[in-house]
Structure 1
Amino acid sequence: MNQKIPLSWLQLTREKTRLAVALAGISFADILMFMQLGFRDALYYSNVRFHNSLQGDIVLINSQSSAVLAMRSFSQRRLYKALELPAVQSVHPIYLDFTIWKNPITGRPRSILIFGMNPETNIVNLPGVQENLDKLKLPDVVLFDRSSRIEYGPIAANFSQGKTVTAEVRRRRIKVEGLFTLGASFGADGNLITSDINFLRIFSNRQKGLIDIGLIRLKPGADAQVVAQELRQYLPKEVNVLTKQEFIDFERNYWANSTAIGFIFTLGTVMGFIVGTVIVYQILYTEVADHLAEYATLKAIGYTQNYLLTVILQEALLLAILGYFPGIVFALFMYQSARDATLLPVFMSFDRAVMVLILTMLMCIISGAIAVRKLRSADPADIF
């Protein structure tokens, strides 16, 4: 039995050049949306990788802190006071600050983020930290983030070759004794981990007794939400008490709502949607206008207005699907290029792929719904 070819497909493929232009326009809009959403998600993910790695249940920070980029110190006595609650198992102070790293090859300075913590207990789930903790007990020893940008020098490569790697940090000579993996972010191009004692040696002007993050581990079975609420009532208001997830959301919300960059990526996605809508509308409107006589003929022989509307909407959906696939393929190549150039976690996710597909279909349906208004002027009386 012969299968009937849908009229919508025949209409689209009749003008091959017009179809190619339409698909190119839709693919371009998809690529734009993919890149903007990819960079936005990389922004969020890269800036909370450290937060996700924390092996604890509750986090204390200064109530005036807004993000890792803008941390305010607070007295470690607030952290140790939490031990008075029966549900608290242990507490762990964390120091962090930005300083200047001098490339040991070129001597060029570059800002780097340093974390200081007690090497007796591993409190971060990051590759390379656990096996190198004992090395941090030595003076002026650090672990270098192998995923830092190349501008810091060939540190990871030289260390992996067995070479002695030293550098100058804050006018102090330090030695790299191990590598770990955290990754660059929009806030920091590179990272170091050292002991709390070495951290205070590097930042010799820092007031003793002040920390940046307080990590709290609870006893098995304790409810983090309940204990966090108890701590909020127990500790002074100068300390912000957050569960681990709230700490992650705290950082994410800063980049999403308190910086221009999060808004810019979202705006770029909206602009891609608008551009695609306009392109598809122009294609469909031209297609309807060029075949107005044929549509009027179909009306004259008994086809209803709703049938013709269905044909146009089918064309819109076909354009969406056909234009989506080259868009996602090209976006994958763009993601790889961006990842290699920036070392940021720009990856394709299933949720994002589905979201852009839905946006593409919605974009084309809206365009088709606007373009079908032209069909109202397809009056058989004007043709015959």
Structure 2
Amino acid sequence: MVDVKKATILAVDDTTTNIEVVKGILSQDYLIQAALSGKMALKIIEKRQPDLILLDVMMPEMDGYQVCQQLKSQDSTKDIPIIFLTAKVQEDDETKGLALGAVDYITKPISPAILKERVKNHLLLKASRDLMERQNEILEERVIERTNQLAELQDVAMVAMGALAESRDPETGNHIRRTQHYVRVLAQALAKIPKYQQQLTPEVITAMYKSAPLHDIGKVGIADSILLKPGKLTEEEFEIMKKHAAYGRDAIVAAEKSIEVADNFLTFAKEIAYSHHEKWDGTGYPEGLTAEDIPLSARLMAIADVYDALISSRVYKPAFSHEKAVSIISKGRGSHFDPNMVDCFLTITGEFNAIALRFLDQD
């Protein structure tokens, strides 16, 4: 049971005799404060809130109803229980008091037994409500904390799985970190176009950002002799290399089957892994999809992936400058890349360059 002993009670009455009566009944169990007017009561409450207020109705200048109304109108004091103590015995008077937010209405002369029990019961109710609210706050805090932890673990898992694939090709370095940031800033720019506003909500963009590290997860299924070949691949080798898109999709499909609830980031991860090598004009792989038949997430990833490949050094080519990479992507507008995305990309090339410098590969 909640302990309400030594709770603070404010007795408000313009007659000192009535204050003394209340003290005589309750002071053994509670700390009693006193106010001889409504204005004095408000000043006391402003400095230190009591746990319960015993409030006379008929007082000069500011009556009990006015005091109650003012306290209930303020968020900081609206939850303090108020019990009216009054000689007014009409039903309308009691109804008015309860309508203003008082929890009880006790008529004078005061019965000590009734006052004790009602004060005790209302303090218990308040203590129980406070405890429940605090427990709810703690629960909400724990849910938020746990949700944040799970989100962080999810992010770490995605990056780790992406890094596992990238580790097969040591030259890629910070590629997965750069590309996921490219995807986010490009999606945010595209979201400003009315056509894409409903598709690219902040939640969707976050899910795409989280799923981007898995774009080349299928590389784990490609033999080192092909994946790490320093020169140009033969046609046969390139056909094998192209299978990494399907390998990645199939790995994510298998992961989806292990959870009961569909998750956006896995859906986008599957789209990105399988379709980010498709081209706007249909000359890409693995399906030869064209235009908007290519998933939006994969079209975003295509620009991010190609830009980063262009500015990165490989055993078979030097790193291109940012300016040359921008020029190449611009020339691919409407053939390799979604025209709208290229237009957006050209407005934020500075952000791409900043990301590249932030996650620069170290020799």
Q: What TM-score, normalized to structure 2?
A: 0.25
- Larger strand share, 1 or 2: 1
- Larger helix share, 1 or 2: 2
Structure label with greater radius of gyration = 2
